[in-house]
């Protein structure tokens, strides 16, 4: 099946959302071709190589943003802040805002199982798109797009302090404050292609938070966030110490 046969009427909306028009149809098609579509259509090239490239571009630009914005932050917290910004859930959120799910090419099985809204597929496709833009327009255009999409999220994550991986941060706080380790109970509902998960996190038999998500991991992170913020707030109100982590400082004022 040739590239022309794969031309999509959905191209214009996603390019408008990205603010970038691909120079060639082939690169666009490649970026949005999930392996399930490729395998069902005679072994077409998938977007996985572009995903590999886009992951590197995204990591470089976000690292540069963080490094320059927070000159006094130690390496460990730089890494934690980057991990809070460059992860599947954040990438999927950005992809949903752009409408990536409407443009991705999926095989019948993935289509029927709700693949257009799967966080893993959305995140991977967004990275492939970034890789394609890098090849098509160069690093400066790709970097400008990454900055537009991710710099506000970096600053939002920084504003939450070092509690960026909430499961890890809750574990540290629970150990120091409650003398126990968090445990998670998961409930699921809905059909296989559209499951929703609810997680409840407890320490020593007491529930401290709950969260919902499209995956168990996402639900657990939301539950951990609720529990961490509640426990950290209680510690600050009662004067029992810091929240177990150092806050991320605000970026220096512009000259």
Cα distance from N-terminal residue to C-terminal residue, the chain: 55
Cα gap 204→201, rounded to integer Å: 10
Q: Give 245's DSSP letter.
A: S
Tokens of 150: 């991710």
Residue matched to tokens 């806050």: 247
Report the side by side order of strands in the sheet with 182-189. Answer: 182-189, 196-203, 206-213
Active-site residue, 55 included: yes
Select which of 51, 110, 124, 127 is catalytic.
127
Residue matched to tokens 């098509």: 136
Active-site residue, 127 included: yes
Select which of 55, 110, 124, 220 is catalytic.
55
Cα gap 122→75, rounded to integer Å: 29
Catalytic sites, residue numbers: 55, 127
């Amino acid at each position: 099946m040739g590239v022309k046969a794969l031309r999509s009427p959905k191209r214009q909306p996603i390019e408008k959302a990205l603010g970038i028009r691909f120079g060639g149809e082939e690169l666009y098609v490649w970026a949005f071709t999930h392996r399930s579509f490729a395998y069902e259509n005679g072994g077409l090239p998938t977007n996985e190589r572009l995903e590999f490239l886009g992951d590197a571009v995204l990591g470089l630009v976000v690292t540069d943003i963080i490094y320059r914005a927070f000159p006094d932050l130690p390496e460990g917290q730089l890494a934690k802040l980057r991990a809070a910004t460059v992860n599947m859930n954040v990438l999927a959120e950005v992809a949903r805002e752009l409408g990536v799910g409407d443009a991705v090419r999926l095989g019948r099985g993935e289509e029927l199982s709700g693949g257009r809204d799967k966080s893993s597929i959305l995140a991977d496709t967004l990275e492939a798109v970034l890789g394609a833009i890098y090849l098509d327009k160069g690093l400066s255009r790709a970097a400008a797009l990454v900055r537009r999409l991710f710099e506000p999220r970096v600053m939002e994550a920084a504003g939450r302090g070092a509690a960026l991986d909430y499961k890890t941060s809750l574990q540290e706080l629970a150990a120091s404050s409650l003398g126990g380790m968090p445990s998670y109970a998961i409930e699921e509902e809905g059909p296989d292609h559209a499951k929703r998960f609810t997680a409840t996190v407890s320490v020593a038999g007491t529930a401290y938070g709950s969260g919902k998500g499209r995956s168990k991991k996402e639900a657990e992170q939301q539950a951990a966030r609720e529990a961490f913020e509640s426990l950290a707030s209680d510690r600050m109100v009662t004067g029992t110490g810091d929240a177990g982590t150092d806050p991320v400082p605000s970026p220096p004022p512009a000259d």
